[in-house]
């Protein structure tokens, strides 16, 4: 009879006991009658009495929070920015995080500080700097500022990613005009440099031609000319065509084929 009563008691106890599974990347917190009870529960199964106790699970994996924020700039404009925040909770601080901020800790502590910090930092930069120049600097500054604000409460900031910045249309047109002007200036510099090189090439070529002509004119003395004249006569003598050479005794005046002699005589008459 005692054994039966014991079995019935155990069965009744088991029927009123619940079990919750804590998965990897989670920490369990046991709360009994409104008070934190025991240390953090590691991944595995945890039994509890549902009438007085409950198990609260806190995610300790890295979480991405995506935000599309209107950000002020140094010149007083507003730009739309797509920013992602990567963070996680220190497992050993999970109970403190829950005790201070509850299960809505992400909105209460993380995102509120994230939005405020992003706006504070963006106001230090001009719109064009956020768009192209200082993006990595902005990410780094927001990351460091956010660490100072919330890491002391048990959070770890892994990264801040400024994915996209949409500027007002007038700023975009100004940037595009500036880029086009820079491209045109580079093209003009290239054309000018090319023309300079072409002019230098023509100058060098002209100097070479002038130097060759100077050398040739210096070498054309009387003896060279007489030698060239004799070589010309020698070529005529070796030619298979018959030639008539009309000369005053010092220089050749005309050369005719014999077949053209009669025509020449008629012309002379």
Give the pLDDT confidence of 197-240 residue by residue, as tens digits. 998 989 898 888 888 777 777 766 666 667 777 777 777 667 67
In a domain, 211, yes or no: no
One domain, residues 34 and 119: no
Identify whether residues 126 and 144 lie together within a single domain: yes
Confidence class of residue 248 from pLDDT cuts 50, 70 and 90?
A: low
| Integer CA distances (angstroms), 68 to 65, 164, 168, 175, 250, in order | 10, 9, 15, 23, 103
DSSP string, 25-79: TEEEEEEETTEEEEEEEPSEEEEE-TTTEEEEEEE-S-EEEEEEEEEE-TTS-EE
Quote the pLDDT of residue 146.
93
- Asked if the structure places residue 215 within a domain, the reply is no
pLDDT in tens, 104-160: 999 999 999 999 999 999 898 888 788 776 778 888 999 999 999 999 999 999 999
Q: List, in order, residues 6 or more apart from 110 with CB less than 8 Å away.
A: 65, 85, 87, 150, 155
Looking at the structure, do residues 68 and 165 belong to the same domain, yes or no? yes
**Average pLDDT of span 183-199:** 88
Return the percentage of the chain with pLDDT > 90, whole number: 20
| Higher local confidence (pLDDT), 69 or 221 | 69
Same-domain check for residues 97 and 33: no
Quote the pLDDT of residue 87.
Answer: 95
Q: Is the pLDDT of residue 6 over 80?
A: no
The SS3 call for residue 83 is: strand
Inside any domain, residue 190: no
Beta carbons of 160 and 83 less than 8 angstroms apart: yes
Task: Tell me: pLDDT of 34 over 50.
Answer: yes
Give the mean pLDDT of the chain: 78
- Whether residue 104 sits in one domain with residue 146: yes
**50 and 129 part of one domain:** no
Considering the domain architecture, whether residues 27 and 48 belong to the same structural domain is answered as yes
Q: What are the pLDDT digits (tens) for 14-31?
A: 444 677 778 788 888 888
pLDDT band at 4 (very low <50, low <70, confident <90, very high): low
Give the pLDDT score at 255: 47
Q: What's the whole-number mean pLDDT along residues 177-185?
A: 79
Mean pLDDT of 79-100: 90
Q: State which residues form the domain around 9.
A: 2-59
Choose one of 44, 59, 74: the last residue of a domain: 59
Spatial distance between the Cα atoms of 77 and 167, rounded to a whole number of angstroms: 9
Give me the mean pLDDT over the 85-114 stretch. Answer: 91
Taking 80 as the threshold, does the pLDDT of residue 73 lie above it? yes
């Amino acid at each position: 009879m005692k054994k039966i009563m014991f079995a019935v008691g155990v069965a009744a106890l088991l029927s009123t006991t619940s079990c919750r599974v804590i998965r990897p990347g989670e920490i369990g917190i046991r709360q009994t009658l409104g008070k934190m009870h025991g240390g953090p529960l590691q991944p595995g199964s945890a039994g509890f009495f549902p009438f007085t106790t409950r198990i609260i699970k806190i995610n300790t994996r890295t979480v991405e929070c995506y935000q599309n924020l209107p950000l002020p700039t140094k010149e007083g404009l507003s730009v739309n920015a797509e920013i992602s925040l990567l963070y996680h909770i220190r497992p050993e601080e999970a109970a403190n995080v829950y005790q201070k901020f509850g299960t809505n800790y992400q909105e209460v502590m993380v995102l509120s500080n994230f939005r405020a910090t992003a706006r504070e930092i963006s106001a230090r930069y001009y719109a064009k700097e956020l768009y192209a120049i200082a993006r990595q600097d902005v990410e780094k500054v927001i990351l460091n500022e956010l660490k100072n604000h919330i890491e002391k409460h048990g959070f770890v900031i892994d990264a801040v990613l400024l994915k996209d910045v949409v500027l007002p249309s007038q700023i975009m047109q100004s940037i595009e005009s500036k880029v086009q002007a820079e491209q045109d200036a580079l093209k003009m510099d290239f054309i000018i440099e090319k023309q300079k090189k072409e002019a230098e090439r023509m100058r060098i070529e002209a100097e070479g031609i002038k130097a060759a002509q100077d050398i040739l004119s210096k070498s054309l003395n009387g003896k060279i000319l007489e030698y060239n004249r004799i070589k010309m006569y020698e070529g005529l003598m070796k030619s298979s065509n018959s030639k008539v050479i009309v000369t005053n005794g010092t220089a050749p005046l005309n050369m005719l084929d014999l077949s053209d002699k009669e025509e020449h005589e008629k012309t002379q008459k």
